[in-house]
A and B are shown apart, each in its own frame.
Chain A
Amino acid sequence: MSSAPPIGMETGTGTSAAGPSRAAAAGTKPAVEIAHLRKTYGTLTAVDDVSFSVAEGEIFGILGPNGAGKTTTVECAIGLRSPDAGSISLMGLDPTTQREEVHEIVGVQLQSGALPDKLKVREILDMYQSFYRAPADVAELTSVLGLTGKLGDYYKALSGGQRQRLSVALALIGNPKIAVLDEMTTGLDPQARRDTWELIKGIRDRGVTVVIVTHFMEEAERLCDRVALIDSGRLVALDTPARLAAQARGGKQVRFRASDHFGDWLLTDLPEVAAVRHDGQHVVVDGSGDLVNAVILKLAAAGITAHDVELGSQNLEDAFVKLTGRHSDTQGAVS
């Protein structure tokens, strides 16, 4: 798999070809440019020859299974680790030699970074604000993030979602040109997750380039202009979520509940059907051509009715499975 050319790479790593119209129209230098990045820990190669660039104003997703090298890539990009090879440029700055300048313009939210229990939200924000030359306004930032009523609360008293929003606030308090958010919605309930997505879009609308690291396919699909899919330290795909999904799976999918049990062979005998699998009470059939009709007719002939028939849309999860051979949410099976 690693020898095959990554999907979407034929359009080149340039942002103008594969990027959204917004990026193409801007025609400016990329906000993030990573070329041939390589990082090893002893004998383990965590990141191997990864290249991509992110246009200004883009929301860019870095996807991959756990242990794929996503976080290492990001840590190299923001100067927390020094790469063994390759070059990185953030708005023209090199994080290995210009750390301090890079940290002025790049706001970072790291995975699982807590804060002292006995500090109040206002005290934390005030302190982090003082670290930057041209910081954001605390009142405005907290109002955007829905934390205004929480300024006098101890960190200890905040809910998981509020802590997450505070963490995002700290990433944005320096008025960054680039925001890097690592697994920002992990551990949030679905509503808080959707709220965070809206927030990220709002940040981008203010002109901030956003790089998110995630293993939620839905998040990448809803939020990202483009995604880089990293597996075992290598870039395996780079494109828009829609195109990636389309290219990864040329076929169709139908999903239904059957009125009675039947042998998979009933459907796999059909020329239109490529694969049959069971997802709880549902049967999922992958295939091509006039798949839906063929399946329904065949079932009807066998006296079986298909309920709740859904035409599966080709999604990023399918691309992920196809490209990495793994499900994005089965973390136990990975690494």
Chain B
Amino acid sequence: MSTLSLALPRLAASRRAAFAKIVHNEARLAWRRPVGLIAGAGIPVLLVVIFGNVSGFQQPMPGIGGFTIFDAYVPILAVFALAMIALLALPVPLASYRELGVLRRLSTTPVPRTWLLAAQGVVQLGVALIALVVIFGISIVAFGARAPVSPAGLLLSIGLSAVGLFPIGLMVAAVARTANAASIIGRLAFFPLIFFAGLWLPQDLMPVLLRDISYYTPLGAAVRAIQSSMLTGFPPAAPLLVLAGYAVAAGFLARRFFRWE
């Protein structure tokens, strides 16, 4: 027993190094096959530039407190990025690792196979962070969007959005047998969800019933929380609780149904 306790600190240090190596390789893979980077960061940034140049979008909207349509779109595009990363960039590689037998091989080493999932999560969180900084940055600096009224609320909303959306991506990876299937399921989930986020019709312009439904969808709740932080102040509890609820439910289901081989 004494040898065990002596070995533990050394083990912990070497294990941290092992996790860092996995993260490093996952980052290389994300860079070398940049589908997730393009879909998750490239497309929403491009949309910011396009919407920022639509002159009509810079006019104050009547009836919703003088915000411009562009102001309303910034949170939607931020959530677009988060959703692309959570629903496509995260689950597709994980499903391919199961398909290729990478997870099975990993489970014959002393390293827990859950680490590959965690490493992929860390890398995609990094991508999301970069995407959001760029989206908010150029929206505010280049296209005159309002700076956030509640920066703390914004950080909390973004954090909870990631926590709510990433487990949904893990759920996609859990049910998809192959990388192709994960990609198809991710897309099929993305389009209805992004509709409720208001990509075609922002929440404030939606009919009341549609808007109420939107508030209970994961992307709708994320947009509502982020938009409140940007335009009015600390977000109401409702969207934050909805996001937390999705995190718990999807996390449970992903854990329950994830197949390692």
Contact = CB atoms under 8 A, between A and B. Distances in A.
Given A115-B100, A118-B33, A128 B109 contact: yes
B235 to A, nearest CB: 39
Interface in B44-68: none
Q: Is the interface of B mostly helix, strand, loop or mixed?
A: helix
B236 interface: no
B110 A132 contact: yes
Nearest to A135: B14
Given A103-B109, A113-B104, A118-B33, A130 B25 contact: no
A130 B108 contact: no
A131 B111 contact: yes
Contacts of B108: 78, 80, 103, 106-108, 110
B244 interface: no
Contact of A80 (B21, B24, B107): B107
Nearest to A120: B28
B29 A174 contact: no
B110 A104 contact: yes
Contact of B21 (A108, A110, A115, A127): A127
Contacts of A114: 100-102
A311 interface: no
Interface in B9-57: 10-11, 14, 17-18, 21-22, 24-25, 28-29, 32-33
B29 A118 contact: yes
B255 interface: no
Contacts, number: 70
Contacts of A113: 100-102, 104-105
Contact of B25 (A78, A127, A133): A127
Contacts of B104: 80, 110, 113
B29 A116 contact: yes
B105 to A, nearest CB: 4
A100 interface: yes
Contacts of B11: 133
A271 to B, nearest CB: 55
B14 A126 contact: no
Contacts of B32: 118
A170 interface: yes
A123 interface: yes
B101 A130 contact: no
A119 interface: yes
B33 A131 contact: no
Interface string B95-106: 011001110110
A124 B25 CA distance: 8
Given A78-B108, A108-B108, A131-B110, A116 B21 contact: no
A24 to B, nearest CB: 31
B105 A110 contact: yes
Contacts of B14: 130, 133
Contact of A103 (B17, B24, B110): B110
B100 A130 contact: no
A152 to B, nearest CB: 13
B211 to A, nearest CB: 43
A112 interface: yes
Contacts of A116: 29, 93, 96-97, 100, 102
Nearest to A128: B109
Contacts of B97: 116
Most buried by B among A78, A108, A118, A131: A131
Contact of B28 (A119, A132, A174): A119
Contacts of A100: 110
B98 to A, nearest CB: 11
Contact of B18 (A103, A104, A131): A131
A331 to B, nearest CB: 20
Contacts of A130: 14, 17-18, 21
A187 to B, nearest CB: 14
A110 B101 contact: yes
A118 B14 CA distance: 25
A127 B22 contact: yes
Contacts of B21: 126-127, 130
A115 B93 CA distance: 12
Contact of B29 (A110, A119, A131): A119
A116 B22 CA distance: 12
Given A128-B109, A130-B21, A132-B110, 16 more contacts: A103-B110, A110-B101, A110-B104, A110-B105, A112-B101, A114-B101, A116-B100, A118-B32, A118-B33, A126-B21, A127-B21, A130-B17, A130-B18, A131-B111, A132-B109, A133-B110
21 contacts: A78-B108, A100-B110, A103-B108, A104-B110, A110-B108, A113-B105, A115-B102, A116-B97, A118-B32, A119-B25, A119-B28, A119-B29, A123-B25, A124-B25, A127-B21, A127-B22, A130-B21, A131-B110, A133-B11, A133-B110, A174-B110
Q: Which 3 A-B pairs have the closest CB atoms?
A: A113-B101, A108-B108, A114-B100
